[in-house]
Structure 1
Amino acid sequence: MSTGRKVPLRKCVVTGEMLPKKSMIRIVRSKEGEVSVDPTGKKNGRGAYISKTEEAVETARKTNKLERQLEVKIPEEVYEELLRLIRRESIL
């Protein structure tokens, strides 16, 4: 029997899959137009979720899906930080 607690699902902007929020990373655009990775999922601003896979990040980079979703140019450092986070988690 389930405990009745719903697992929050979010849609990956790259794959279109609905996945638990915990298995994704949030990228945020602030009101000032700055883009940052939001590992806590609590920063203010427009957010987009991406699956925690290197493939998803590379696809997002190639297809500009994050740029379209957040309506802003995504700096290369954001993709690098995403990959770093994913690699660090896969080691643990």
Structure 2
Amino acid sequence: MKSRKIPMRMCNGCMEMKPKKELIRIVKSPEGELSVDLTGKKPGRGAYICKDTNCLESAIKSKRINKNLETVVNDEIYNKLKEEIVNE
């Protein structure tokens, strides 16, 4: 039986390639709204972050998520991400 290909994505914090299911996705919808996408299936441009507070802090400090999504990410989204990471 063939083994399935595992989709890999780069974390915006540690810049390491990891399986998509291990990461949290931040998505910018076609209308320009930002949201945290836990399913990984919402339409729009996505940025990924590890389920680790150090990666999140690094991504916030370097503003990589802002650059990836081509918009300014507000504190509300960062707070949701911190909440998700702590709850994991």
> Which TM-score applies when normalising by structure 2?
0.92
- Secondary structure at the aligned position of 2:24 is classed as strand
Structure 2 distance, partners of 1:87, 1:56, is 13
Structure 2 distance, partners of 1:25, 1:39, is 6
Runs of 4+ in 1 over 6 A off after TM superposition: none
Q: Which amino acid aligns with 1:37?
A: V
Structure 1 distance, partners of 2:55, 2:15, is 10
Q: Give the CA deviation at 1:17.
A: 0.6
2:6 matched to 1:16? no
Q: Give the CA deviation at 1:14.
A: 2.3
Q: Counterpart in 1 of 2:52?
A: 53
Structure 2 distance, partners of 1:66, 1:44, is 17
2:41 matched to 1:42? yes
Q: Which amino acid aligns with 2:32?
A: G
Q: Counterpart in 1 of 2:86?
A: 87
Q: Counterpart in 1 of 2:73?
A: 74
Percentage of identical aligned residues = 48
Length, aligned pairs only: 88
The CA RMSD measured in Å over matched residues stands at 1.4
Unpaired runs of at least 5, structure 2: none
Unpaired runs of at least 5, structure 1: none
- Per-residue Cα deviation, 1:60-89 (whole angstroms, up to 9, x for no partner): 111111000100000101111111111111
